[in-house]
Structure 1
Amino acid sequence: MKPHELTAAQQLEALNDNEISSRELTEHYLDRIERHKELGAFVTVNENALEEAAKADRRRASGDRAALLGLPLGVKDLAATAGIRTTFGSAALKDFVPLEDSWTVRLLRQAGAVVLGKTNTSEFGATCYTENDVTEKPAVTPYAPTRYSSGSSGGAATAVAAGLSPVAHASDGAGSIRTPAATCHLVGMKPSRGLVSPAPATSFLSASIEGPIARTVADAALLLDVMASPAPGDLYGWHPARPLHGTLDRKLTIALWTDTGLDQAVDPEAELAVRRTADVLAELGHEVREIPLPARYDESVSRAILTWFAYQVGAVARMTVPAGSTHLLRPYTRHLLDINDTLSANDIVSSQAVLARYASTFLSKVHDYDVVLTPTTNGAPVPIGHFVGDEADLMLKWSCHTPWANLAGVPAISLPSHVDDDGLPHGVHLVGRHRHDAELLALAAQLESAQLWKELHPPSWHE
């Protein structure tokens, strides 16, 4: 068996048993990254990765058993990495090398992870497809390399699915972990607000949070366990009361809907993903009830989402992009900046109020349920170039099922469902109660054990 065919948990076991060294494992992945550049998974390869691996081997030889010691992985290019180029997906920052790690990257490195490099992302994470002016190629799903692996964590999902990284660090502001996981037949977990700290970023309303993309639920929990350590002073930080990799000890009540919330029908494969999952849940003894969609994307909500994104992206771009370099930004980013420049303080506060009401409506309607079941995406991975025209509208139509969980701050996970007749992956979306991340992961593990999905790898996995 080749090293990348082992799960992350199995690789750690092999490392602890001295069956393989971190250096050998890292060399294996670096070789695969080099051979599969066409997939657009990585922006930057860490030139010190082998040195980090050798250091991990020395730590293990001295008796250290840190949680991720010697495990190679990719870090999303929106997270600062000391000594490794961090572009935020922008040509305006193509030469930026941070002096310090972000809080989460620091945790991963302290746990012994070896950083293979920076995985591809959209510019400032603003789109649900991964294409920028830093890399020559967009991140594509290895199952169909003419189609996007979504975004903004597209590179992370591509890397894990193609066997270029056993697990990957990612982040999610409106579905950016979950939709890439769905396009690549993977597990993608967005934690509850506060479980993973956004430090050094600060905001009273933080919809974005970091989390794992993995092949198995156990691997996702393994990575999340390390990331779940709030920074001092984190306004929403909390520690889980139980391990994140436990078992489910009760039957759950689950709400279901497939309505897109738009003037658009649900895709048949998205419908199939939900129905087959509901059947498995019922067989496991859980109670599944179909309910109406709690709130729709009316004009005020759609406008508020665009306003909020324009403000968020605009604020980051204005702080980080050097003066005189805005011409290097992509057209959609400049469009968001133009909107941001027209916004008043009242516009920004009002948009937050609209989105708070929208999220609160969801929470009130599902108050009596443990979990919500929906599609992850409204359809298959889309072809390169699909999002041309009204990008905001096209992106919302495809990724309409995920943003509410970000706004509500509740945990959500995308699981593989099936691969359609064209060989394209589809995912299913489960949303839990706030701070019930362990229970959501336990339910996901139960579905995995019940073989909701089959292990299936793309051609590049075997090359």
Structure 2
Amino acid sequence: MSLHELTAAQQIEALRAKEISSRELTAHYLARVERHSGLGAFVTINENALDEAARADERLAGGDRAALLGLPLGIKDLAATAGIRTTLGSAALADRVPQEDSWTAGLLRRAGAVVLGKTNTSEFGATCYTENDVTPSPAVTPYAPTRYSSGSSGGAATAVAAGLLPVAHASDGAGSIRTPAATCHLVGMKPSRGLVSPAPATSFLLASTEGPIARTVEDAALLLDVMASPAPGDLYGWRNEGSFASALTLRRRLKVAMWTDSGTDEDTDPQAELAVRRTAEVLTALGHDVREIPLPWRWDRHMRRAVTHWFAYQVADVVRNTVAPPRIPLLRPYTRHLLATNETLNVQSVVAGQATLARYASAFLAAVDDYDVVLTPTSNGPPVPIGHYTGDEADLMLKWSCYTPWANLAGVPAISLPSHVDGDGLPHGVHLVGRARGDAELLALAAQLESAALWDELHPPSWHQ
């Protein structure tokens, strides 16, 4: 068995038992990253990775049992890493090397992870596909390398699916963990608001959060255990009681709401429908009560406008704080479009847009108040071909990724699980959303579905190369 075939949990166990060394494991992954560079998984490789691994081996030899000690890990290129280039997916920041880690990157490093490098992302995380002007190729799903692995955590999903990382750090503002996981036949967890700290907070409308992308539910829970530590002063911070990885047994029957309606003028893709129906059958067989309900709110023109203004305002804020004016021309066309949209906004339109988003989130929460979990597709169809997003990018992205944003706005936990690989070899995911701060129960349900063989561990060709 090759080293990358071990799960992250198995690798940690083997490191502690001194059956493998961190340096050996890191070298294995570095060689695989170089071999499969055409998949677009990484922006930057950490030139000190082997030295970090050697130091981890010294700590392991001394009996140190830090949670991730010696485990190779990728950190999404939106998160600052001290001494390692962090471009935010933008050519305007191609030479940016932070002096300090972000809060979550610091937690992962202090837990002993060896940072292999920075995984690919879209410019400022603004699109649901991972293509930028920093890397020579977009992040693609290893199952079909002519198709995007979604975004903005596309590089993280590509790396884990292709066996270039055992598990990966990612982030999610409207689906950016979950849709990449779906395109790559992986587990992707968006935690509840405040479980993983965004420190320092920059907005009361906190929709984006960091979380894990992994091959197994246990691996996702292991990484989340380290990430779930709020920073001092966090406006929404809270702590889970106990370990997620130690609580993966579901102890009660759940009431599950489901829908497949996209809420757009796009019909539901037949494979997305299949993903939900087959998952509902498994849930029912496991004893859960599954009921189909109407979609609480459609993507009407008010909601579309509010989301566009929200993204425009967020991206403009990042650009103001990171990009020098002479480098603005280096930004991608869609980013410049969002900046131009932001220029049309005033305080009243920003506040009105946020009120619309709040009403939208509240409508969903009210509609599912009697349920423990919601079941939908993760995306409205398979991974899309490179070049798909031409013309009205916002409209095309919404039609494909229409199922995930409500969980961000509502602040509730959500997870994408593999469903099936279709006759064309394309992966499809299923989306489960839990109650606020019900992350442990949602992970336990995911583990139950994994044990019930909801999906097969079917690897892409690059896994074996």
Give the alignment partner of residue 293 of structure 1, picking from 292, 295, 304: 295
CA deviations 1:378-425 (Å, max 9, x no partner) are 000000000100000000000000000000000000000000000000
Match of 1:124, SS state, is: helix
Alpha-carbon contact 1:242-1:438 (below 8 Å) kept = no
Aligned residue in 2 for 1:6: 6
Q: CA separation in 2, counterparts of 1:421 and 1:128? A: 24
- 1:355-366 superposed matches below 5 A: 355-366=357-368
Amino acid at match of 1:198: P
Aligned residue in 2 for 1:26: 26
Match of 1:189, SS state, is: strand
Q: CA separation in 1, counterparts of 2:41 and 2:201? A: 25
Q: Report sequence identity in percent.
A: 79
- 1:93-242 superposed matches below 5 A: 93-242=93-242
Q: CA separation in 1, counterparts of 2:184 and 2:216? A: 13
Q: CA separation in 2, counterparts of 1:269 and 1:296? A: 21
The alignment's TM-score, normalised by the length of structure 2, stands at 0.99
Aligned residue in 1 for 2:323: 321
Amino acid at match of 2:133: D
Alpha-carbon contact 2:200-2:234 (below 8 Å) kept = no
Aligned residue in 2 for 1:354: 356
CA deviations 1:56-83 (Å, max 9, x no partner) are 1111111210000000010000000000
Q: Assess, with a 3 A threshold, how the Cα gap between structure 1 residues 430 and 74 changes in structure 2: closer, same or farther.
A: same
Amino acid at match of 2:179: T
Aligned residue in 2 for 1:62: 62
Alpha-carbon contact 1:147-1:382 (below 8 Å) kept = yes
Q: CA separation in 2, counterparts of 1:347 and 1:64? A: 54
Instruction: Say yes or no: does 1:441 pair with 2:443.
Output: yes
Aligned residue in 2 for 1:457: 459
Give the alignment partner of residue 386 of structure 1, picking from 385, 388, 395: 388
Match of 2:374, SS state, is: strand
Aligned residue in 1 for 2:271: 269
CA deviations 1:111-141 (Å, max 9, x no partner) are 0000000000000000000000000000000
Q: Which contiguous aligned blocks of 4+ residues in structure 1 show a shift greater than 2 angstroms? A: none
With 430-439 and 197-206 compared, the bigger mean Cα shift is at 197-206
Q: CA separation in 2, counterparts of 1:21 and 1:72? A: 11
Match of 1:88, SS state, is: coil
Amino acid at match of 2:256: I
Instruction: Say yes or no: does 1:305 pair with 2:317.
Output: no
Match of 2:107, SS state, is: helix
Q: CA separation in 2, counterparts of 1:323 and 1:305? A: 26
CA deviations 1:422-461 (Å, max 9, x no partner) are 0000000000000000000000000000000000000000
Match of 1:416, SS state, is: strand
Aligned residue in 2 for 1:84: 84
Alpha-carbon contact 2:7-2:219 (below 8 Å) kept = yes
Structure 2: runs of 5 or more not aligned: none
Match of 2:325, SS state, is: coil
- 1:242-257 superposed matches below 5 A: 242-245=242-245, 246=247, 247-257=249-259
Aligned residue in 2 for 1:402: 404
Q: CA separation in 1, counterparts of 2:266 and 2:185? A: 25
Amino acid at match of 1:330: R
Aligned pair count reads 463
Amino acid at match of 1:5: E
Alpha-carbon contact 2:80-2:100 (below 8 Å) kept = yes
Q: 1:322, CA displacement in angstroms? A: 1.1
Match of 1:269, SS state, is: helix
Q: CA separation in 2, counterparts of 1:65 and 1:151? A: 34
Alpha-carbon contact 1:102-1:200 (below 8 Å) kept = no
Q: CA separation in 1, counterparts of 2:380 and 2:105? A: 32
Aligned residue in 2 for 1:371: 373
Q: 1:201, CA displacement in angstroms? A: 4.0
Q: 1:11, CA displacement in angstroms? A: 0.3
CA deviations 1:201-222 (Å, max 9, x no partner) are 4211111000000000000000
Q: 1:200, CA displacement in angstroms? A: 2.7
CA deviations 1:90-119 (Å, max 9, x no partner) are 000000000000000000001000000000
Amino acid at match of 2:328: T
Q: CA separation in 1, counterparts of 2:203 and 2:54? A: 38
Q: 1:242, CA displacement in angstroms? A: 3.8
Q: CA separation in 1, counterparts of 2:190 and 2:348? A: 30
Q: CA separation in 2, counterparts of 1:145 and 1:2? A: 23
Q: CA separation in 2, counterparts of 1:342 and 1:396? A: 22
Match of 2:265, SS state, is: coil
The alignment's TM-score, normalised by the length of structure 1, stands at 1.00
CA deviations 1:188-210 (Å, max 9, x no partner) are 00000000000134211111000
Alpha-carbon contact 2:194-2:238 (below 8 Å) kept = yes
Amino acid at match of 1:98: P
Structure 1: runs of 5 or more not aligned: none
Alignment root-mean-square deviation, CA: 0.5
CA deviations 1:327-350 (Å, max 9, x no partner) are 000000000000111210111111
Instruction: Say yes or no: does 1:17 pair with 2:17.
Output: yes
Alpha-carbon contact 2:316-2:338 (below 8 Å) kept = yes
Q: CA separation in 2, counterparts of 1:350 and 1:161? A: 41
Alpha-carbon contact 2:201-2:235 (below 8 Å) kept = no
Q: 1:241, CA displacement in angstroms? A: 2.2
Q: CA separation in 2, counterparts of 1:396 and 1:243? A: 35
CA deviations 1:288-311 (Å, max 9, x no partner) are 000000111111000000000000
Q: CA separation in 2, counterparts of 1:153 and 1:249? A: 32
Amino acid at match of 1:449: S
